[in-house]
Amino acid sequence: MKHRKMNDIYRFYTYQKIPQNQSLKYLITIPCVNREERNAIQIIDKTFENFEKQGIFQHYPHFTVDILLFESGSKSLSYLQFIKSFHEKYPGRIKIMLSKRNLDGPQNIYRMFSYIQQQAIHHYDFCIWMDDDILVCKNFLQNMDSWVRQHINFTIFGSLYSPYQSYPIQNPNMSSYCQESFVRSYHGSCCTIFKPLLAKYITPLWFKTEKLRFVKEPDLRFRESIMKFFPNIKKFLVCSPSIVQHLNIGSAIYQHKQIRKGHTARHFIGIEEDPLWYSQNELSIDK
C-alpha cells in the first residue's frame, strides 16, 4: 500500500502545467436533496439559472464538462422538474443518479465518491465537487480551466472557493491568482477540484469517524481523510479571489430553520465580474 501511495503521489504532483491545446474532460458532481422535506429552502433552480447565465452549458474548444446530480432518495423529486427544460436545451449534459433509499448527506456523498472511484476515473481527467446552493462568476468555466491547467499538478486537490485564510505563494511558477492554504483549514465543498484517483483515499475511512477525529460533515470527512493518508502534505492550492460563492443556506438543513448561518467565501469576485484568467482566443463556441 505504501509503495502504491507513493506512486499515486507522483501522479498527483507532476509539477507540469497542462498545455492549452490538450483536451480535458471535467465532471461536475453535485449532491442534492429536496430541501423542503428537511425544513429548508429550495435553491438548486437558482443555482442552475446562474450556471446557464455564466455559460456553463456552452461548448468550448479544448475541454468538455458533464454535470452529474446525486439525488439522495427524496420522497418527492418535484424540486428537479426545472431540469427538464435544461435537458431539452442541452441534451446529454446533465444526468441524475437516483437512490432507492433515503440517504443523509454523508451517505449520499460517499455514494458520489464511490462512483468517482469506480466509474468516473475511467472517463474524466478531473472532478469538480460542487454544492447545490452556489453562484459562480462570469465565464466561470474558462477561468476554471485556466486555473486547473496552471496549478492542479502542483497540489493534491484545489479549490476555487475559499472561506478560509489563504496566503500568497513565493513561487514564480504560480500565477498571481493562486494562493495556498493549510489542509487542516479546508471546509466548504462548493468547488473542490481533484483527480478521480484521489477518491480511493476518501472512501476507506468515510464512516470510521473515530479515525477522523469524529467529524460528521462531508467536507470535513474529506479533509480528515487527506490528512490521515497523506500526513506530510500540509498545504493545498486555492484561487484568489474566489470565483464561487456559497448561497449560505445548506446549514439550515441541520438546524431546521430557514436561516443563513453557514460559511461564505472571504473574497468573492462577484457574479457580474470576469477575472479573465483565460486568453481571449479561448472564448466559447456554440453548437
- Flag whether 283 is in a domain: no
In this prediction the pTM is: 0.92
Total domains present in the chain? 1
The stretch 92-118 carries a mean pLDDT of 97
- Flag whether 250 is in a domain: yes
Q: What is the CA 76 to chain-centroid distance, rounded? A: 25
Average pLDDT score, the chain = 91
The stretch 61-73 carries a mean pLDDT of 97
- Flag whether 223 is in a domain: yes
- Flag whether 110 is in a domain: yes
Give the cell for residue 141: 468555466
The stretch 171-191 carries a mean pLDDT of 93
- Flag whether 282 is in a domain: no
List the domain range (segments joined by +) for residue 181: 2-273
- Flag whether 241 is in a domain: yes
The CATH number of the domain holding residue 204 is 3.90.550.10
- Flag whether 287 is in a domain: no
pLDDT in tens, 228-272: 999 999 999 999 999 999 986 544 444 444 445 568 888 999 999
pLDDT at 34: 95
**Torsion angle defined by CA atoms of residues 29, 33, 35 and 36, in that order, rounded to the nearest 10 degrees:** 150
**CA 131/CA 73 separation, integer angstroms:** 17
- Flag whether 179 is in a domain: yes
pLDDT in tens, 109-129: 999 999 999 999 999 999 999
